[in-house]
A and B are shown apart, each in its own frame.
Chain A
Amino acid sequence: MPAHLEPESAAAADNARTVMDGSDIGRALTRIAHEILERNKGGSDLVLLGIPSRGVPLAERIAERIASVEGYAVPVGSLDITMYRDDLRMKPARALLPTQIPQGGIDGRTVVLVDDVLFSGRTIRAALDALGDIGRPKAVRLAVLVDRGHRELPIRADFVGKNLPTSLVERVRVRLLGVDDVDAVTILGSEGEGA
């Protein structure tokens, strides 16, 4: 019965505003892939590391696009930052997510961190600490699908899919095929005005 949708999609229908659909996300990732190659002058010595959970499928999609342009695969992996979070002590112990460093490591490579939303910058601060325990990259760059502002640390992204001015009470939600059932970026307002 359509009236009995799961609560989440019912709420989403109420006051969620879609700011990027599947094709918008695809175009943004294609542009980011080209920008990474342009900045790096090719795909040599690149390592893409997605931050779980949604940074990982994004990193894989960017890698696919780089492979189709350059004709060879760049290493892709994941980097869990749970144990490096500055709010680890404030919540119950959390489950760890996968860390998968590609063969060949990160020493002397250009690492591109990939995440879905850049917000306070604290996740990226933790990721930089985690990288330091794994090796010494030649350079670290940051690619994000959405930059929603409100930084609390001096951190910025090198490659941005979409700059999204938000208020602090709004929530940005990224859904990606593979993890979720749809490709979409939505804003959930809490004003109660409806869409």
Chain B
Amino acid sequence: MKRHLLSAADLSRDDAELVLTTAEELRSLADRPIKKLPALRGRTVVNLFFEDSTRTRISFEAAAKRLSADVINFAAKGSSLSKGESLKDTALTLEAMGADAVVVRHSASGAPHRLAHSGWVRSSVVNAGDGTHEHPTQALLDAFTMWRHLGPKSGGSLDGRRVAIVGDVLHSRVARSNALLLRTLGAEVTLVSPPTLLPVGIESWPVETSYDLDAVLPKADAVMMLRVQRERMHGGFFPTAREYSRRYGLDGRRMALLQDHTIVMHPGPMVRGMEITADVADSDRSVIVEQVTNGVAVRMAVLYLLLGGSQPAVSTEGLPE
């Protein structure tokens, strides 16, 4: 693996599969009386969150603590960041405190890349979501969830599996990271979205696109619903919420179109009644709660593989830093 995890594209297939198999071993930790491993004793992980987040921050915090790392939480609200401190000065402060890894969430796309390649810090940088760009650990936990459900029936891989990602692709860092990672793992991704919510340049992504959800659902092995990110919308992307959910929402009728083994996923937070109805979210097909559990295991795997040794885990096809 590289020293930083900034994009799902940083991961070779070997890297990604190493994360998945490591996460599989770490997942059983949740069933033990002592949910702790000593691998990162004495290492410091800083959670640097410039943007609101509950589940990702808690997930990273739990992952680092279960590996015995010391965790420092640094949220924009209530810190010097709200007083106008720059990313650079914050980074220099963290460096002076001796952080071994910085987990960063920022509203500006590319902020983690800047942090990693500016020379301000020597620590590993893990992107926990930057703007509308990428969210690689979310893609890893989604792939892990699919792999656990769909992998055993196809020889432990996602080769040839069809994944539909539905909704607000334009504002979704989850969609981009998933598209890149799932491609690396051999799955076929179809993005389903209104034309106004597909990003410019989508034809260069390794995916197919469709505007017709009903046509895509019967072939899918996994369906991932995305939240409509109204806080990032400044303009009319669709006429009304009701029309959006009628055309692109997953309800009981559409769920009946799915194959028996197909799973329904959502990265959270969900807006019930908008992109997904309550009966679908609470159905047997829904693995949304499991995604949260898997998130801790996957983030433990990432932190362990980046920080556990003298250098990140070496994979045979790893790209040179």
- Whether A88 is near chain B, meaning CB under 8 Å from some CB there, is yes
Q: 1/0 per residue B5-33: CB within 8 Å of A?
A: 00000000000001001100110100011
- Whether A96 is near chain B, meaning CB under 8 Å from some CB there, is yes
The smallest beta-carbon distance between B136 and chain A, in angstroms, is: 17
- Whether B37 is near chain A, meaning CB under 8 Å from some CB there, is yes
- Whether B204 is near chain A, meaning CB under 8 Å from some CB there, is no
Query: When the two chains form the complex, which single residue of A93, A96, A99 contacts B309, counting CB atoms closer than 8 Å?
Result: A93
Bound complex: CA of A99 vs CA of B31, how far in Å?
12
Bound complex: CA of A32 vs CA of B28, how far in Å?
31
Bound complex: CA of A131 vs CA of B305, how far in Å?
23
Say whether, besides A98-B25, A99-B28, A134-B32, A91 and B309 are in contact (CB < 8 Å). Answer: yes
- Whether A89 is near chain B, meaning CB under 8 Å from some CB there, is yes
Question: How many chain B residues have a CB neighbour from A under 8 Å?
Answer: 24
Bound complex: CA of A178 vs CA of B28, how far in Å?
25
User: A93, B312: Cβ atoms under 8 Å?
Assistant: yes
User: B32, A91: Cβ atoms under 8 Å?
Assistant: no
Q: In chain B between 263 and 321, which residues have their CB closer than 8 angstroms to a CB of chain A?
A: 304-314
- Taking CB atoms, residues of chain A closer than 8 Å to B37 are 83-84, 133
Q: Which of A89, A90, A134 has the most CB of B within 10 A?
A: A89
Count, A-B residue pairs, CB within 8 A = 56
User: B32, A92: Cβ atoms under 8 Å?
Assistant: no
Q: In chain A between 54 and 96, which residues have their CB closer than 8 angstroms to a CB of chain B?
A: 80, 83-84, 88-96
Query: When the two chains form the complex, which single residue of B22, B25, B34, B311 contacts A92, counting CB atoms closer than 8 Å?
Result: B311
Bound complex: CA of A88 vs CA of B38, how far in Å?
10
Query: When the two chains form the complex, which single residue of A88, A90, A135 contacts B39, counting CB atoms closer than 8 Å?
Result: A88
User: B38, A96: Cβ atoms under 8 Å?
Assistant: no
- Whether B36 is near chain A, meaning CB under 8 Å from some CB there, is yes
Query: When the two chains form the complex, which single residue of B28, B36, B309 contacts A94, counting CB atoms closer than 8 Å?
Result: B309
- Closest Cβ neighbor of A96 among chain B residues: B25
Query: When the two chains form the complex, which single residue of A91, A96, A135 contacts B33, counting CB atoms closer than 8 Å?
Result: A135
Mostly, the B contact residues are loop
- Closest Cβ neighbor of B68 among chain A residues: A83
- Whether A129 is near chain B, meaning CB under 8 Å from some CB there, is yes
- Closest Cβ neighbor of B25 among chain A residues: A96
- Closest Cβ neighbor of A97 among chain B residues: B25
Bound complex: CA of A98 vs CA of B33, how far in Å?
18
Q: 1/0 per residue A109-143: CB within 8 Å of B?
A: 00000000000000000000100011100000000
User: A83, B39: Cβ atoms under 8 Å?
Assistant: yes
- Taking CB atoms, residues of chain A closer than 8 Å to B25 are 80, 96-99
Say whether, besides A95-B21, A96-B22, A96-B25, A90 and B310 are in contact (CB < 8 Å). Answer: yes
Q: In chain A between 126 and 165, which residues have their CB closer than 8 angstroms to a CB of chain B?
A: 129, 133-135
Query: When the two chains form the complex, which single residue of B26, B32, B36, B306 contacts A93, counting CB atoms closer than 8 Å?
Result: B306
Bound complex: CA of A99 vs CA of B36, how far in Å?
14
User: A93, B21: Cβ atoms under 8 Å?
Assistant: no
- Taking CB atoms, residues of chain B closer than 8 Å to A84 are 37-38
- Taking CB atoms, residues of chain B closer than 8 Å to A89 are 309-310
- Taking CB atoms, residues of chain B closer than 8 Å to A95 are 18, 21-22, 313
Query: When the two chains form the complex, which single residue of B18, B36, B306, B307 contacts A133, counting CB atoms closer than 8 Å?
Result: B36
Bound complex: CA of A92 vs CA of B28, how far in Å?
24
Say whether, besides A84-B38, A133-B36, A94 and B313 are in contact (CB < 8 Å). Answer: yes
Bound complex: CA of A92 vs CA of B307, how far in Å?
9
Bound complex: CA of A129 vs CA of B39, how far in Å?
12
Bound complex: CA of A73 vs CA of B293, how far in Å?
34
User: B22, A88: Cβ atoms under 8 Å?
Assistant: no
Q: List 20 A-B contacts (CB under 8 A).
A: A83-B37, A88-B309, A89-B310, A90-B309, A90-B310, A92-B309, A92-B312, A93-B304, A93-B308, A93-B309, A93-B312, A94-B308, A95-B313, A96-B21, A96-B22, A97-B25, A99-B25, A129-B38, A133-B36, A134-B34
For the complex with contacts A95-B22, A133-B36, 16 further pairs of A-B residues with Cβ separation under 8 Å are A83-B37, A83-B39, A84-B37, A90-B310, A91-B309, A91-B310, A92-B310, A92-B311, A92-B314, A93-B306, A93-B307, A94-B313, A96-B21, A96-B22, A97-B25, A129-B38
- B interface residues, Cβ below 8 angstroms from A: 18, 21-22, 25-26, 28, 32-34, 36-39, 304-314
- A interface residues, Cβ below 8 angstroms from B: 80, 83-84, 88-99, 129, 133-135
